[in-house]
Amino acid sequence: MTDTTTLERTDQSTTTILEHWVRGAAWAGESERTGQVYNPALGTVQKQVRFASKADVGAAVDVASEAWAQWRDASIAKRQTVMFAFRELLNARKGELAEILTAEHGKVLSDALGEIARGMEVVEFACGLGHLTKGAYSENVSTGIDVYTLRQPLGVVGIISPFNFPAMVPLWFFSIALAAGNAVILKPSEKDPTAANWMAALLKEAGLPDGVLNVVHGDKEAVDALLEHPDVQAISFVGSTPIAKYVYETATGHGKRVQALGGAKNHMLVLPDADLDLAADAAVNAGFGSAGERCMAISVVLAVDTIADEFVQKVSERMATLRTGDGMKGCDMGPLITGQHRDKVTSYIDVAGTDGATVVVDGRDAEIDGDANGFWLGPTLIDRVPTTSTVYTDEIFGPVLSVVRVEGYEDGLDIINSSLYGNGTAIFTNDGGAARRFQREAQVGMIGINVPIPVPVAYHSFGGWKASLFGDAKAYGPHGFEFFTAEKAITSRWLDPSHGGLNLGFPQHD
């Protein structure tokens, strides 16, 4: 078991405070500001988390810079050994981490374990760093001259991760960043921060040298300090589109490379020839898993008019079987992350009625298997949503599934391609021709064919188009190693002793 006493302390008023993790140990820093961390299933504060000042972030970067000087020179074999050991420890103790996720985020235990499993896929991918960081070699490009390329680590890199995947998203980024030879400053969400410290402690146990991965907690002050620090070479971010745009513009303005993954409004187009039972199952699973707090959640179903009534009926029947409640009790769906976010999501149900939509299932009426003070909202289904309504245009980020009725394939495709976002989309059909057209014509980064949440496996890359991604590099996969390394080209000539003389022109081919 990871010793949590190394992650946090209890002050004289018995309030538990989660500290930063710097140089391989809990560290308070100079700032005395803290934030509250809730158990969303109970609606109560369970601990405080330390908020870093600009000076605290600077101190952590200094530690990372010092540690990087040694880590960059660690052999590929050494880095692989650490990543393999981390993978084994994480697999053995994933139940412990899942309980942390459920206690702070609210997602049910099975969903938390699924999150960890998807993160572990990237850890396993990163173990192949020897193959993935190879350069190229061209011999005798000109007489006696060879050209070859190297991929080298950047230095200190920053990761700013969201509340909805407090384990998976950091694993996506720091696994590859560390394997490539970088040092990392991780700034997790202040809403559910404990998983970051837990994983940092596990990396230390796996053999990662102190200071190579550091965790600083906080709010905008800590974020801005990372974006502006001259010794931070790159920033990886996942969050809402407005913040992703801010991160991208601010960090690139300070000379950094950036991958900033933003928000989404993911559509699922259901054609008349689709298996409606399969499609209904998929809509419920993809719409309400993790209480809809997923950037890849299906939030809009585009149902062709001829099957829309039947489809809505099938979805509502399945929703009636879902059990909403405490994630520790084996429920299907847990609470939302905070009371403020729950209230914001709930407000869209009233907007729907005002805008002429039909609320088929109102999650405010759901029976809850949990404490009355939890941040609850049951699964909600809204039919006949106008595309002018904010219920359609906004990223609600909660358990609200909208149905927009369309005339057919062309109408549905036009709606998808007109969206501000381009993260993920799906089509449900048994027509191979329609599916092939869709994968070519949909202006979206990740596409599912009879698959509702098309998150690529670890050896491909994750990322959207349009306002869902700022920067050229997607997450993990080949893009990940390219992002966290810089290519260097070397042109080499070893002269034959008999060769010499002056020539001020370009080398000539014989």
| Cα(47)–Cα(382) distance, integer angstroms | 37
What is the dihedral sign for C-alpha 347, 348, 351, 356?
negative
- How many beta carbons lie within 10 A of that of residue 106, not counting itself? 30
CB-CB contact of 236 with 160 (8 Å) = yes
State the Cα–Cα distance between residues 325 and 272, nearest whole angstrom.
35
First to last CA, the chain: 67
- Other Cβ atoms closer than 10 A to 182: 25
* Rounded Cα distance, 320 and 74, in Å: 55
Encoded tokens for 327: 């994630």
Burial code of 426-457, b = ≥16 C-beta within 10 A, e = fewer?
A: bbbbeeeebbeebeeebebbbbbeeebbbbee
Sequence-separated (6 or more) residues with CB below 8 Å from residue 444: 416, 422, 423, 424, 425, 464, 465
Token digits of residue 77: 């074999």
Please state the φ and ψ torsions of residue 487, each to the nearest 5 degrees: -85, 135
Amino acid at 14: T
What's the CA gap between 198 and 183, in Å, rounded? 18
Catalytic position from the list 295, 385, 391, 406: 295
Q: H or E stretch including 33?
A: none
Dist. CA 151–CA 315, nearest whole Å: 50
Our answer to whether residue 295 is catalytic in this structure is: yes
Q: Which positions are catalytic?
A: 295
